[in-house]
Amino acid sequence: MLGFFLVVFLGLGLAGGLYWRWRKKVAEEVAEGAEIEWGLFQKNEPEFLEGISEAKFREIYARVHTPRFPAYALAAIATFFLSLPVTFAVLTLLLWVGQATGVVPQPVEMVQYVNLGEVRVTQAWECGAECQLYVAEAFAGFYYFFGVIVAWLVIVWFFMRRYHRRRPGYLRDEIIRAKE
């Protein structure tokens, strides 16, 4: 497990470094576009920018024109991998509570009530009680699989909701909003 997380941290560090370089390049291009746009507004509509300094205009322009999705995607992926130990701990606790309260049957109970060895579909199912116990214990993987999927969906829901809530408007709308 430690090796897995070392690889994950290395991958996240590499992705973060690549994102940082990309963001720096985009910031340079956005600053150049803000300078050009500021000049055009000063030339054609100087009254529209009354009360807005050039620094404030650059800030608004950057907020409107800087791509936001890569940052949110990287944050969602990092959150997913960093939350895996907590997710597995919560799923283990839920499975334990479910087995203790009788909601989820114990593997021994599954073997007693459902004879997996009498299924004639494949040879792999034909085994004794000990083998059936191992097969029944593996059914817990079903809960972990769907539990991790639910955790991933909650993380994606959280970040996409935040992404759309913080979406900037058009440049003119943001300038008007900054004047208020």
One domain for residues 86 and 158: yes
Number of domains in the chain: 2
State pTM to two decimals: 0.74
One domain for residues 121 and 162: yes
Domain holding 102, by residue range, is: 71-169
22 inside domain: yes
User: Torsions phi, psi of 102, nearest 5?
Assistant: 90, 5
Would the pLDDT of 122 be above 50?
no
Task: Quick: pLDDT tens for 2-33.
Answer: 888 899 999 999 999 999 999 999 999 999 99
| CB 65, CB 33: distance < 8 Å | yes
One domain for residues 96 and 29: no
User: Torsions phi, psi of 147, nearest 5?
Assistant: -65, -40
Task: Quick: pLDDT tens for 65-115.
Answer: 999 999 999 999 999 999 999 999 999 998 888 878 877 766 666 655 655
8 inside domain: no
